[in-house]
Structure 1
């Protein structure tokens, strides 16, 4: 452990990342990769090389964060921002309004806003708003600028908008050029707003699902840095589970229509009045635009159990082995061919009703088809068959945390706790999967589960304290 302490200190000093506990596994892998690429095994020589070579340090840091994100993450806040808050600001402030995504990862968040703003304001949106994303990881910024996505990136995006704003590209999907060019991406260190400054001042700063990587003292320092970038009457939005952990005294916490945000203590509270337009870009569990969701899920469940797979998806599967069928279903899932994947898996589960791989894959497919109850059923069956199936526990918890199912805090905490317990006991466990691998590596799943547990316990403690005072 002591051999890695200097690397922890260097990363914390330069980037603020807190690499204790569960994050250590990624640090170990990153150091091993660094040794292999440089040929250096001596810690002193390796640190000297890492400190003096910015490009090498960038590649090193890129291995230390999870970068697990997707379009329209936590849609309620984005819908409120686009449909209510920003129109109200435009009524009192001359455009353009500037929006900054701090810790933007591979770009899904600023591109989500680009699509939503274009839907709300049309072509005029490009003159009304500027969009900037910033991240410390140069490699992930390159991916953001390229704007090519697949798989889990689309799990919360309306299929209609995916078709409208993306085009097929080499087996994946590429964002239309006009929106891609609208968003600017810049290197950005949260610890130093003046280093590679992203510009500003910004009317809105998004600091969502990023602070889990930082301890309290570092988060306080980051807030001070972000305050330098925030316009006098601007707001700061954090992730839903991070709000209490970011109430650190630098900003004032405000609530509007169920959405919590931070503002400077001296500025007046927003009084949003525009409710005339509802953005349908972000899929939510209550979206009944095509009929009753429960009926749709029941019908889809029946279809999955009875329909034969499409000819293309099922060709030659009569002679394929179970492993080949699972691999085919996995490939279809990654290609976003959800219907074909679902039909293939339904047929497979008729043959092998207790296949852990098939159940987990079917749960992921159902989730991306926006059938959360069906996804729940598949994941729950997987945990019955294999209680050690940590991917199923993790995604069950995510269904609650992401609002895809009505939240049950005790169930959510129980599932995340199961992930931590299982992966603490066996850190590299496959979770009962024999053919496929979980979309989320075990080390990352354990890291996220522990952070979400911390956030849940913080919320629970705050609620208990409030109730005690009352």
Structure 2
């Protein structure tokens, strides 16, 4: 029996399809990674030919197989308090400006995308609780989104390895975590403080409900996009932000190279990008 294979033509067809669906583009150096996961799903679905699997992937009404494959294809490498200078910037420089524009009684809304397994949104929650005095005077909504449904379930469960929590300050560990047989469980109060949602950033129908945010964190996602997808993402975030709202990117990403919609703000802790107030 001949083993199933992925030809160069197959790879290109899938690459173009996945890019249209997610905005993520795999370059040829990722070929082994992509082929391995395609072959895994072909075997799991009983397809010995890429052609028949690809037809199912494109036309399956439920979209279930595309979601399963997307979960396998996306990278979720993160840990607590990664690039935490941006969290200091949030507390010391951004939040005072947000509060100054905020109407009394309206919540401060922060969108974190991708959520990955939850380390970043939970880090933001702990930072606000521990370092921002205004947390007792203002309601803060944390919405964390990802395209990967498996990783969202993991984030909601709040279970983390020793490696993930290595940079969590010891006082925070004692207050917000408890040891379990599988690693560390984050406390229920923090788990309930973050709303996790499934969002495909490249799908306007998915992102349209996300409006009225004061701050967006989108760190180390746009490096997987090409120029066209990055520009579209910048426009999506522009629509999601309130006038004067802020967006924070990863250290290797620059909104100035993506879009002219935002103005650069150089705070003492970090460079961030702001939607104009006018």
8 Å Cα contact 2:82/2:120 also seen in 1: yes
Structure 1 residue 5 and structure 2 residue 15: aligned?
no
Contact kept in structure 2, 1:15 and 1:189, CA below 8 Å: yes
Q: Does 1:18 align with 2:29?
A: no
TM-score by length of 2: 0.89
* 1:75 is aligned to 2:81: no
TM-score (norm 1): 0.54
Structure 1 residue corresponding to 2:156, chosen from 132, 142, 145: 145
Any gaps of 5 or more consecutive residues in structure 2? 1-7
Measured on the aligned residues, the alpha-carbon RMSD in Å equals 2.1
Q: Is 2:82 aligned against 1:63?
A: no
Q: Offset at 1:244?
A: 5.9
Identify, as 1 or 2, the structure richer in strand. 2
**Rg comparison, structure with higher value:** 1
Q: Aligned partners of 2:67 and 2:121: how far apart in 1?
A: 22
**1:189, 1:196 within 8 Å by CA — same for their partners in 2?**
yes
Q: Which of these residues, 8, 19, 36, is aligned with residue 29 of structure 1? A: 36
- Whether the 8 Å CA contact 2:88–2:269 is kept in 1: the answer is no
| Residue 214 of structure 2: aligned partner | 203
Instruction: Figure out how many residues of one structure are paired with residues of the other and give that number.
Output: 267
User: How far did residue 25 of structure 1 move?
Assistant: 2.4
Tell me the equivalent position of 1:242.
253
The separation in 2 between residues aligned to 1:164 and 1:120, in whole angstroms, is 14
Q: Say which SS state the counterpart of residue 237 (structure 1) adopts.
A: strand
Q: Is the 8 Å Cα contact of residues 42 and 50 (structure 2) preserved in structure 1?
A: no
Aligned to 1:39: 46
CA distance in structure 2 between the partners assigned to 1:193 and 1:107 by the alignment: 24
CA-CA distance at 1:198 after TM superposition? 5.6
Equivalent position SS for 1:63:
helix
Alpha-carbon shift at residue 59 of structure 1 (Å): 1.3
Q: Which has the higher contact order (CA 8 A, sep 6+)?
A: 2
Determine the C-alpha separation between the residues in 2 that align with 1:47 and 1:126: 53
2:224 maps to 1:182 = no
Verify: 1:165 aligned to 2:172, yes or no.
no
Maintained 8 Å contact 1:204/1:234: yes
Shift of 1:241: 1.2
2: CA distance, partners of 1:126 / 1:196 = 30
2:277: which partner in 1? 267
Partner of 1:184, secondary structure, is strand
- Shift of residue 8, structure 1, vs aligned partner: 0.9
2:4 alignment partner in structure 1: none
Larger helix fraction of residues: 1
Structure 1 moving runs of 4+ over 6 Å: none
SS at match of 1:113: helix
Q: 2:108 matched to 1:101?
A: no
Which of 166, 180, 189 pairs up with 1:155? 166
